[in-house]
Structure 1
Amino acid sequence: MGKAKKIKANKGKKVPLEKQIEDDKFAKPSTRVKMRQRNDEDAEFVDSNLSQRILEQARLQQEEIEDDIGPASKKPSSAPRLGAGSEESGDEDDTDSMAGDFYEKIEVDEEDERALEMFMSANPAPRRTLADIIMDKVTEKQTELQTQCSDVGSLQIQELDPRVKQMYEGVRDVLAKYRSGKLPKAFKIVPNLRNWEQILYVTDPSRWSAAAMYQATRIFTSNLSEKMAQRFFNLVLFPRVRDDIAEYKRLNFHLYQALRKALFKPGAFMKGLLLPLCESGTCTLREAIIIGSVVARNSIPVLHSSAAILKIAEMDYNGANSIFMRIFFDKKYALPYRVVDAVVFHFLRFQRDRRELPVLWHQALLTFVQRYKGDVSTEQRELLLELLRHQSHTTITPEIRRELQHANCRDVEMVEPMTQ
C-alpha cells in the first residue's frame, strides 16, 4: 500500500488548509519554456506527383464553382441596397445571399395581386410618422403656456439644449452611413430619456441605414417598456419596412432581422406593426408574404397570437387578413373557443357577398377547417356547409366539405360520455 501524500506547505505566507488541499489536487503549469530544435531531416514534404494531383483537383473545383455562379452574377449591381449612399455594392451581394437563409425569393402572381387590390380600401387613412407627431406636439406647446404630459404613453416634449441638439445631429450623420461596428454611446442612452421620441426626431430615422435601423431596434426592444416599444415599432420601424418593400420589391436583410428582433416583445409587435398593417386597408400581397414569413418562422406565445387572430377576424376584410390568419392557423395553437367562434363568424359574413373572393380566402378557410374542425359546434358546422353553397372554389371547396363532414364537433364529444 502506498504512503499517504503529504500536503505541501507554502513558505513565507499563511495559506488556509482548504486552499492547500485544492492546490494540491491540480497540477500547476510550469513557467519553463521548452525550446525544441527542428531538424530538417525530420520534415515531411509532399512529393511532386501528389502536389500535381492536389492542384488539379483545386482547379476543377474552381471551374465547377464558376459554372454554378454563371456570368450573370459577376455583373456589378447598379443600386446599393443598404440605405446609405456611400455603401458599396459588394456588401449588397453578401447581404442578399445571407437573406436567402431566412426567406425565399418571393414571386408574386399578378392575378392574385389584382384580386387582392379589389379588397383594398379606396380611401385609406393618412399614415402618421414620428415627424408628424413631433410637429403637432411642438405646435401644441407653442400655443400653451406649459404642457404637462401626464400619460405614460404620451409624447414628452422638452426644450433641448443647443449642445445636446448639436451632439445628436452628429449622431444623425453617423447613423446615415453606419454599416457595422460600435454605435455612438449618446445613441445607446436614448431609450432611457423621457423625451426619447424628440431625440429620435433630431437623428432623423428616415435617413438611417438599414444596418443602423436593425441596431436601433435591438436597443429599443431591450430597453423600452411594451407600450413604448409599440410606439417605436409603429412610428419608426413600420414606415421604413413598407417604404423599403415598395421601393425595392423585397425587404433588406437588416430590416428583416429587425422585424425578427421586434418579436421579442410580441404584444408591441402585434399592436404596433401587424394590426396597423391589416387595418390600413392598403397592405399588398408582397408585404403580407414578407411580414407573414417573420411570424411563421418565429415562436409567439399563444395568448398574443389568439388576441391577434381575434382582432383580425373582427376588422374589415382585405386579402392580407387571409394570409396572416392562415399563418396563425398553421402554428396549430390550442385556441380558446371564443377565438374559434370569432373566426367562424368572420367566414360566415361572406355568405351573401357578391364579389368573387380570392383564392387566399378559400385557402384560409381550408386551413382553419383542417386544424380546428373538432373545435366548432354542430350548428357552426352546418352554417359552414351552407356557406360553401354560396362561396365555392373548384378544387378547394370539395376538400373543405369533406373535412367538415368527417368532423367530430366539440358539443358531440361532450354528450357522448354522458350517454354511456
Structure 2
Amino acid sequence: MAGKRRKENQHGEAAASERSSSKRRSQPSKHRRDRHGAEADDEEQEYLEPKLSSRILEEALNQQKEILAEEETQKTGSTSTRHAFTAAAVEAAITRLGELDNDDDDDFSETQSQYDGYHEIDEEDEKVLATFMSKDAGPQRTLADLIIQKIKEKDAQVASEARPLPQLDSSIIDLYKGVGKLLSRYTTGKLPKAFKVVPSLSLWEDVLYLTEPEKWSPNAMYQATRIFASNLSVKRAQRFYNLVLLPRVRDDILKNKRLHFALYQSLKKSLYKPAAFFKGIFLPLCQSGTCSLREAVIIGSVIQKVSIPPLHSSAALMKIAEMDYCGTTSYFIKLLLDKKYALPYRVLDAVTAHFMRFLDDERVMPVIWHQSLLTFVQRYKNELVKEDKNNLDRLIQHQKHYLVTPEIRRELKNSRSRGEKEDDAMLISSSASVINKTIEEDRWNYPAVPMEED
C-alpha cells in the first residue's frame, strides 16, 4: 500500500509540473508584452494626433461661421481681410496637400557632427579686413522685426508690447504657436501638415512669424528651407532667405565660430533658386559692410561646391563690383572669377572699373585684393582692351605686393588685347628661332667613362 501511494504522489507531482509549465508557455514573455504594448501605444498615438487636429480645425470652422453670421446680421460692411483668413484656408490647403509625407528621407539627426567649414584663417588678415568694414551699419533686420513694425504702424495700442500678435483667428494663432514649439525641439521625422501648407497661404509671413523662426532647431531650419525653396516663388523665397535664413546663419557663426551642418545644408539647398539666393543672401551680406572673413569663407565654400548658372553669377559679380568696397568683397570676386565663366564684356568692364577705383587710394590693400586682381588678369587677360591694360599697369605701380605684383605685370605683358589676333610675323619669328633639324647621333661614339682605378 505504501508503494502504491508513493506512485500516486509521483504521478500527481508530474501532472502539476506539466500544468505549471503549460501555463508558463501560454503566457507571453515580458519582452514581448513590452513590445506589443509599445506598438499599441504607437498605434494609439497615430490615431490621436489626427483626431486632435481635426477637432481644432472643426472648432475654428464653427468660429468662422459665427463671424460670418454676425457680419450678415449687423451689416457693418466688410471687416479686415485678416479675419477672413481662418482655419478654413488652412484646412483647404491641407486637403490639397494630401498625403505627401514621404519626402523626409534625408532628415538630419542631432547626432551628426557640426560642419565647421574649417579653413586656416589668419588673424592678421582678419584684422586688416576689419578695417575695411562699415562702421555705421545698423543691425540686420529679421522677419520678427518686419512684422512687429507693420503691426505697430497699424495699431497704436500694441506699441508697448514686446512681441505683438498679428490680427488672425485665435485658432490659427494657437495652432501655429504649437507648431513653433515642435520646431524648436525638432530633430528628425515628419513635419506637421499645417507647416507644409504655409507657402501656399496668402499671409504666409504672419503665419511664419507665429512659429518664432529664431527659435527653430537647425534641423527644422533645413526642412523649412527645403519646403520654401521648392514651393515659394522667387520673390517670396528671397524674403525668406533674407529675413529668416541669413540672420540665423550669421548668428550661428558668430556664437560658435563655425556653422552647424544642417544650416550649411540649408545654404546649399537655397541655391535651388539661384536668383533668390543672390538677392536674399549673397548681395545683402556684401551690402551690410559687416561680413567677417569667417562668414565669407563658409558661405563662399557653398558657392564653390554648387553649380550655378553663368547668368546669375555674372549679374552677381557685376553688382558686387559696383558696391562700396568691403574687405571680403575681394574674396567673393575671386571665388566667382575662379569658376571660369565666359563673362560678358559689360561684366569685365565693371570689374576693371572696380579695381581702377583704388588708383588714388592711399590705404594698404589686403593680400586678398591683390590675389583677386591676379585671378582676374589670369582668367581674362585676352579679353581686356589695351587701354584697360595700360590703366591696370599704372594701378600696380601704385598698389604693390612683392610677390603678386610681378605676376600681374607678367600676365599683362604676355597677352593680346580684346579683338586682336596673333601677328603672323610674330609666329614666323618665333618659329624661326626653334630648331627643327633632327639630331644625328652616333651610337658607337660613346663618351669616355672614368674608371675607379683612374
| TM-score (ref. length: structure 2) | 0.66
Q: Give the 5 Å matches for 1:197-212.
A: 197-212=205-220
* Structure 1 residues 163 and 414: alpha-carbon distance in aligned structure 2, compared to 1, 3 A threshold: farther
Name the residue aligned to 2:148.
135
Aligned runs of 1:221-300 on 2, under 5 Å? 221-300=229-308
What is the alpha-carbon distance in structure 2 between the residues aligned to residue 125 and residue 225 of structure 1? 29
* Alpha-carbon separation, structure 1, partners of 2:394 and 2:421: 22
Indicate conservation of the 8 Å contact 1:378/1:412, yes or no. no
The structure 1 segments of at least 4 consecutive aligned residues displaced by more than 6 Å after TM superposition are none
- Mapped partners of 1:124, 1:414: distance in 2: 50
Match of 2:407 in 1: 399
Secondary structure of 1:308 counterpart: helix
Q: Does 1:326 align with 2:344?
A: no
SS at 2:113's partner residue? helix
Q: Is the 8 A contact 2:110 2:187 kept in 1?
A: no
Segments of structure 2 that go 5 or more residues without pairing to the other structure are 1-108, 158-164, 425-454
Q: Do 1:260 and 1:298's aligned partners in 2 also have CA atoms closer than 8 Å?
A: yes
Deviations 1:60-107 (A, max 9, x none): xxxxxxxxxxxxxxxxxxxxxxxxxxxxxxx666323xx47xx4x222
In 2, are the aligned partners of 1:266 and 1:304 still within 8 Å (CA)? Answer: yes
Q: CA RMSD in A?
A: 1.8
Q: Give the structure 2 partner of residue 350 of structure 1.
A: 358
1:94 aligns with 2:112: yes
- In the alignment, the residues of structure 1 paired with residue 317 and residue 341 of structure 2 have an alpha-carbon distance, to the nearest angstrom, of 11
Question: Shift of residue 158 of structure 1?
Answer: 6.8
1:339 to 332, 335, 347: 347
Structure 1's 204 and 380: CA in aligned 2 closer, same or farther, altered over 3 A?
A: same
8 Å CA contact 1:116, 1:285 repeated in 2:
yes
Residue 119 (structure 1) aligns with: 132
**Partner AA of 1:370 in structure 2:** Q
Q: TM-score, normalization: structure 1?
A: 0.71
User: CA–CA distance in 1 between the matches of 2:422 and 2:310?
Assistant: 24
> Is the CA contact 1:244–1:251 (under 8 Å) kept in the aligned structure 2?
yes
Measured in 2, the distance between the counterparts of 1:415 and 1:403 equals: 18
The one-letter amino acid of 1:287's match is: E
What letter matches 1:391 in structure 2? Q
| Deviation of 1:138 (Å) | 1.1
CA deviation digits over 1:239-266, x for unaligned, max 9? 0000000000011000000000000100
Match for residue 34 of structure 2?
none
Percent of matched pairs sharing the same residue = 57
Whole-Å Cα distance in 1 between the matches of residues 364 and 269 of structure 2?
38
The answer for the alignment partner of 2:181 in structure 1 is: 173
Distance between the aligned counterparts of 1:279 and 1:325, measured in 2?
14
Letter in 1 for 2:294: R
- Say how many residue pairs are matched: 309
* 8 Å Cα contact 2:416-2:422 kept in structure 1: no
CA contact (8 A) 1:158 1:195 kept: no
Partner of residue 416, structure 2: 408
What stretches of structure 1 of length at least 5 have no aligned partner? Answer: 1-90, 145-156
CA contact (8 A) 1:378 1:411 kept: no
Query: Which is greater in Rg?
Result: 2
